């Protein structure tokens, strides 16, 4: 039985990845600084550890005498949507760098054979609609629009440097915006699809919701099952260097809102308000991940149909729990 370590297992994608690895027959240890907020972990073992500490990375990575994990998935990060990314630059640059420097170094020292790192398409610069697709190597010379992107770029390079020095195969995915159930939906760290689902779920029929920007920014969103599928395909491939993983269905933020409203079956008006919108557009190539046979299977509407009911249920439960 293969043994896997998932760092960030108390988080959104990490929680889904643990479930998928268990379904594939792995023995899984999950590690996070906190327990999952929305679900029981599917991991065989769960350790609460602050991975900014080198010693805790060693504890997470240590099995029995002279034994190592077959696969390590590093998804732990100080992470959130655009609001968080723009207000927590120092936390991102400090905490996520420490996690990645210590995890990569310790995994290499302990002889881990395969190491996965979750980067982001935030490493790419702001683009205009219709600009040609960027391939992975075009991220350099670099000009990410936020510190989160710079941290990812640096941590990618840390992992790739260790793969050149040690016999550790490193796989680096650049995730596009990912959404689905069991992800942060409130509190300031939620990303746009979850925030919009929450606002629509909270709105009265015929009500108005505020949304940042003017609705013209272009995005694409990957449903979490597709993302996890891409992670496993990449991990087991021989693709070296960073690999983009994303749904090629591009929509405006206005279209995202319209999709959520249609799934909710409500009449909702939008007030476009000033806020940290992020880039206007990003357009990157999926050619490398396609060589593994991976394709996004969930169009936005199908993913939202699986996400909105879960967030609506969370909104109702939170309302019911509020003191009158």
Across the beta sheet with 27-32, what order do the strands follow? 45-48, 27-32, 3-7, 71-74, 114-120, 169-175, 242-245
Active-site entry in 26, 124, 148, 166: 148
Chosen residue from 5, 14, 18, 229 binding ligand NAD by CB under 6 A? 14
User: What residues from 283 to 312 belong to the interface with ligand NAD (CB under 6 A)?
Assistant: none
| Those residues with Cβ within 8 angstroms of residue 297's Cβ, 6 or more apart along the chain or in another chain | 223, 225, 226, 229
Give the shortest CB-141-to-ligand NAD separation in angstroms: 21
Phi, psi for residue 148 in degrees, rounded to 5: -55, -45
User: Does residue 221 have an active-site annotation?
Assistant: no
Q: Does 193 contact ligand NAD by CB under 6 A?
A: no
Biggest CA-to-CA distance, the chain? 63
Q: Does 52 contact ligand NAD by CB under 6 A?
A: yes
User: What residues from 156 to 185 belong to the interface with ligand NAD (CB under 6 A)?
Assistant: 175, 177-178, 184
Rank residues 227 and 268 by Cβ distance to ligand NAD and give the closer one: 227
Question: What does the per-residue mask of binding to ligand NAD show for 220-259, with x meaning CB under 6 A?
Answer: ----------------------------------------
Q: Does 139 contact ligand NAD by CB under 6 A?
A: no
For ligand NAD, which stretch binds (CB under 6 A), given 32-40, 161-169, 199-207, 300-308?
32-40
- Cα distances from 232 to residues 39, 42, 121, 221, 267, in angstroms, run 22, 17, 18, 19, 40
Chosen residue from 4, 28, 77, 108 binding ligand NAD by CB under 6 A? 77
Q: Does 110 contact ligand NAD by CB under 6 A?
A: no
How many positions of this chain bind ligand NAD (CB under 6 A)?
Answer: 26
Residue nearest to ligand NAD (CB): 11
For ligand NAD, which stretch binds (CB under 6 A), given 27-35, 266-274, 282-290, 292-300?
27-35
Rank residues 120 and 314 by Cβ distance to ligand NAD and give the closer one: 120
Active-site residue numbers? 148
Kindly list the residues in this chain that would bind ligand NAD in the complex (CB under 6 A): 8, 10-14, 32-34, 50-52, 75-79, 95, 99, 118, 120, 175, 177-178, 184, 191
């Amino acid at each position: 039985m293969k043994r896997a370590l998932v760092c960030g297992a108390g988080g959104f994608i990490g929680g889904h990845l643990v479930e998928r690895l268990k379904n594939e027959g792995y023995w899984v240890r999950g590690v996070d600084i906190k327990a999952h907020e929305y679900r029981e972990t599917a991991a065989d073992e769960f350790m609460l550890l602050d991975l900014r500490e080198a010693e805790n990375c060693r504890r997470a990575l240590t099995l029995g005498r002279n034994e190592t994990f077959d696969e390590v998935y590093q998804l732990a990060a100080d992470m959130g949507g655009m609001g968080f990314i723009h207000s927590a630059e120092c936390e991102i640059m400090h905490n996520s760098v420490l996690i990645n420097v210590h995890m990569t170094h310790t995994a290499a020292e302990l002889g881990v054979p395969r190491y996965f790192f979750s980067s982001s398409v935030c490493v790419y610069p702001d683009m205009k609609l219709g600009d040609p697709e960027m391939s992975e190597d075009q991220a350099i010379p670099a000009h990410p629009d936020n510190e989160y992107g710079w941290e990812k770029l640096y941590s990618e390079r840390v992992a790739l440097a260790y793969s050149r020095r040690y016999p550790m195969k490193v796989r680096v995915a650049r995730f596009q915006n990912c959404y689905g159930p069991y992800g942060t939906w409130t509190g300031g760290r939620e990303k746009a699809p979850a925030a919009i689902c929450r606002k629509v779920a909270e709105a009265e029929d015929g009500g108005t919701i505020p949304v940042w920007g003017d609705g013209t920014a272009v995005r694409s969103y990957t449903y979490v099952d597709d993302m996890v599928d891409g992670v496993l395909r990449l991990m087991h491939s021989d693709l070296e260097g960073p690999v983009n993983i994303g749904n090629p269905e591009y929509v405006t933020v206005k279209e995202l809102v319209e999709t959520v409203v249609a799934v909710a079956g409500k009449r909702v008006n939008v007030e476009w308000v000033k806020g940290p919108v992020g880039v206007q557009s990003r357009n990157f190539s999926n050619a490398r991940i396609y060589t593994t046979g991976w394709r996004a299977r969930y169009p936005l509407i199908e993913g939202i149909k699986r996400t909105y009911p879960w967030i609506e249920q969370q909104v109702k439960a939170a309302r019911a729990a509020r003191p009158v």
